[in-house]
Structure 1
Amino acid sequence: MQLHFQQAFRAFILLGFSTMLLKLHQSGDISKFINPKYEGLSQIASIIFLILFFIQVTRVWSTQKKSLHDCHHEDHSCHHDHGHAPLNTTKVIAYLVIIFPLVTGFLLPPKVLDASIADKKGAMLILSNQKQISLKQKNTLGHETAPQKDEKNINSQEEISLDDGPEDPINLENEKVISEEEYNDLVKQLELKNKIEMNDSVYAAFYDEIGMDVGKYKGKKIKLKGFVYKEKEIAQNQLIISRFLITHCIADASIIGFLSEFPEAPSLDNDTWIEAEGVLDVTSYNGTELPLIKITGWKKINEPETPYLYPISIKIM
């Protein structure tokens, strides 16, 4: 019996990836790397790695000793790599690249994105650009702007505010995909509310809609939570209550949040998680209108178990 070390090392790599994915799922840390709607695919990937490991194990030992394999070329050269050839620089680099995520995955605890990442991205610039991009996308899709309401309708809507009824017309806590009709109902709910609750399940949708037409929501009460981020460009009594939005995985994470204003802002450090209530107002940054929350009450909170936000996927019928 002959042991082939490279084949054994490849088997070890496959087992390592399978074990790492299963470990992340078991601990719940997988949500810090990918959108939960892809957890099923991640679990399938871990099973595939495990199957490939068992296949690879059959190549670790051989009963016959052969130089490489039976290559009978006229020039007596054979360059096929079946895991028995000596290591060279190219192979070493390839193996290092492959095992790097394994080493970091097992040895380093997952770190939640924070204000330092927001600082590198330039949060205020991103927030102002997001609105311009969202408006462009909405116009491209041909979505109609909600018709203006007369004073009688406004008073009527205030009387039937959903604050007095069920909190949510549809349950989004466990929903990864909703229909366009359900999404439209969600937007109508936002327009009718006198007090907007930015729950994690609807945060991205509400944030996008508020950004589309800031003036429509001016004067409404709002409640939200997020981590503190400050930039030099904003006033001393202002900060951004921020969250990271993950569309697919952590690599595409983008910061979203609301510029907020209150006297105690200077006393709060970056990355402090707070829950705040306030009133929506309008401000401008680089010529772009942005929502501004005038905080009326706030408190410090612990970092949530799930700190990231995920967009609602709309099913195209």
Structure 2
Amino acid sequence: MFKVLILILTTNLFFMLHVTGNISKYINMKYSFLSASMIVILFILTVVEGIKLWSSGDEKEKHHDCECSHDHHEQEHHHEHGHEKKKPSAGKKIKKFLAYTLVLIPAISGVVLPVATLDSQLVDAKGFSFPTLEDGTNREGMHQVLNPDMSKFMNQTDFEDLVRKESKSYIPKNNITLTDEDYLVGLEVMYNFSGAFAGKTLTMKGFTYNGPGVQPNQLFLLRFGLIHCVADSGAFGMMIQFPKNVHIPNDQWYQVTGTMDTVYYPQMKTKIPVLKVTSYKTIPKPNDPYVYRNSLN
């Protein structure tokens, strides 16, 4: 019975994530066919387990009817042997209960509880650092900040070929607008060829984050992006610099336009791209605040 219940709830969890669109907050949507396939597989398993449960109930009823037809001596003999069967120990019952509970909790909470959107609080919780530029060590398992670094997912030669190929769509332009579709691609090119973009005009949008060590006229404009899934998500974006001091709280959504340059950022001990703002405006939070790595070409 518990197996069927778990399968029903898990199938419903994946189904509701797709229906509400919240699946995009967990995985890159180019992999959505995998989770959709999971719904079909879970549904089939649920039907199979349901049939097994129904069949076992039918067999028990037949077995009970068969026992009633035996004479009194046979019933007593069966009763005596029945007592010889060992009952499951209390420890095993507790383990079984805990195992089912651990599976049921996420299956229920994933539907009942609202899906939280990642914001500046997570950036603070994980730490705002750029280890790949500081020393190049311990790259594996590091959460990403600012630069969506695809070199973590492929060998160095393939990565260099990829970025060089992608740069051809951006370097020739004097006016660049980063859209939701090419946000991560464009940023990675700009971080790898920052000198080639000096003086070019860039328009981008994101939420504000007052990072550590910034000047009174500086802050960061970020978007949470998913390379493959939420496990490799990062806060990607760029430092923006205003002509005069500003005070803008975290998590305010802005669209800014400015001129690109580079600046030394002591917190990360390296030069990073900076957008010197010429115009800006507040915008509503997008329906889907995340951006995704949609291609590798």
Using the size of structure 2 for normalisation, the TM-score is 0.77
- Assess, with a 3 A threshold, how the Cα gap between structure 1 residues 185 and 86 changes in structure 2: closer, same or farther: closer
What is aligned with 1:207? 187
Equivalences for 1:7-26 in 2 at 5 Å?
Answer: 8-26=1-19
Deviates more, 1:85-94 or 1:269-278: 85-94
What code does the residue aligned with 1:23 have?
Answer: M
- Alpha-carbon distance in structure 2 between the residues aligned to 1:50 and 1:124: 44
Secondary structure of 1:215's counterpart equals helix
What is aligned with 1:280? 260
Instruction: Please say if residues 148 and 188 of structure 2, whose CA atoms lie closer than 8 Å, have aligned partners that are also in contact.
Output: no
What is aligned with 1:171? none
User: Number of residues paired by the alignment?
Assistant: 260
Instruction: Please say if residues 245 and 253 of structure 1, whose CA atoms lie closer than 8 Å, have aligned partners that are also in contact.
Output: yes
Secondary structure of 1:251's counterpart equals helix
Equivalences for 1:72-221 in 2 at 5 Å?
Answer: 88-125=93-130, 128=133, 140-141=156-157, 186-221=166-201
What is aligned with 1:251? 231
Deviation digits for residues 2-47 of structure 1, max 9, x if unmatched?
A: xxxxxx2221111111122112212212111111011111111011
What is aligned with 1:27? 20
What code does the residue aligned with 2:23 have?
Answer: I
- Alpha-carbon distance in structure 2 between the residues aligned to 1:49 and 1:281: 52
Instruction: Please say if residues 149 and 188 of structure 2, whose CA atoms lie closer than 8 Å, have aligned partners that are also in contact.
Output: no
- Gaps in structure 1 of 5+ consecutive residues: 1-7, 68-75, 146-179
Instruction: Please say if residues 127 and 257 of structure 1, whose CA atoms lie closer than 8 Å, have aligned partners that are also in contact.
Output: no
What is aligned with 2:74? none
Secondary structure of 2:292's counterpart equals coil
- Alpha-carbon distance in structure 2 between the residues aligned to 1:208 and 1:99: 40
Instruction: Please say if residues 196 and 222 of structure 1, whose CA atoms lie closer than 8 Å, have aligned partners that are also in contact.
Output: yes
What is aligned with 2:273? 291
Deviates more, 1:231-240 or 1:43-52: 231-240
What is aligned with 2:49? 56
What is aligned with 1:4? none
Deviates more, 1:189-198 or 1:119-128: 119-128
- Alpha-carbon distance in structure 2 between the residues aligned to 1:127 and 1:312: 23
| RMSD of aligned Cα (Å) | 3.1
Deviation digits for residues 71-115 of structure 1, max 9, x if unmatched?
A: xxxxx7779x9xxx9962211221121112112211111111000
- Alpha-carbon distance in structure 2 between the residues aligned to 1:127 and 1:269: 28
Do structure 1's residue 314 and structure 2's residue 290 form an aligned pair? Answer: no
Secondary structure of 1:113's counterpart equals coil
- Gaps in structure 2 of 5+ consecutive residues: 65-83, 135-143
Shift of 1:290: 0.4
Instruction: Please say if residues 128 and 290 of structure 1, whose CA atoms lie closer than 8 Å, have aligned partners that are also in contact.
Output: no
- Alpha-carbon distance in structure 2 between the residues aligned to 1:222 and 1:188: 16
Q: Which one of 205, 225, 240 corresponds to residue 220 of structure 2? A: 240
Instruction: Please say if residues 2 and 100 of structure 2, whose CA atoms lie closer than 8 Å, have aligned partners that are also in contact.
Output: no
Instruction: Please say if residues 239 and 265 of structure 1, whose CA atoms lie closer than 8 Å, have aligned partners that are also in contact.
Output: no
- Assess, with a 3 A threshold, how the Cα gap between structure 1 residues 198 and 126 changes in structure 2: closer, same or farther: farther
Secondary structure of 2:27's counterpart equals coil
Secondary structure of 2:288's counterpart equals coil
Instruction: Please say if residues 209 and 222 of structure 2, whose CA atoms lie closer than 8 Å, have aligned partners that are also in contact.
Output: yes
- Alpha-carbon distance in structure 2 between the residues aligned to 1:136 and 1:41: 23
- Assess, with a 3 A threshold, how the Cα gap between structure 1 residues 257 and 128 changes in structure 2: closer, same or farther: farther
Do structure 1's residue 271 and structure 2's residue 251 form an aligned pair? Answer: yes
What is aligned with 2:36? 43
Secondary structure of 2:170's counterpart equals helix
Do structure 1's residue 305 and structure 2's residue 263 form an aligned pair? Answer: no
Instruction: Please say if residues 227 and 293 of structure 2, whose CA atoms lie closer than 8 Å, have aligned partners that are also in contact.
Output: yes
Secondary structure of 2:212's counterpart equals coil
Secondary structure of 2:33's counterpart equals helix
Deviation digits for residues 201-237 of structure 1, max 9, x if unmatched?
A: 1111111111112111111110000011112321121
- Alpha-carbon distance in structure 1 between the residues aligned to 2:12 and 2:148: 43
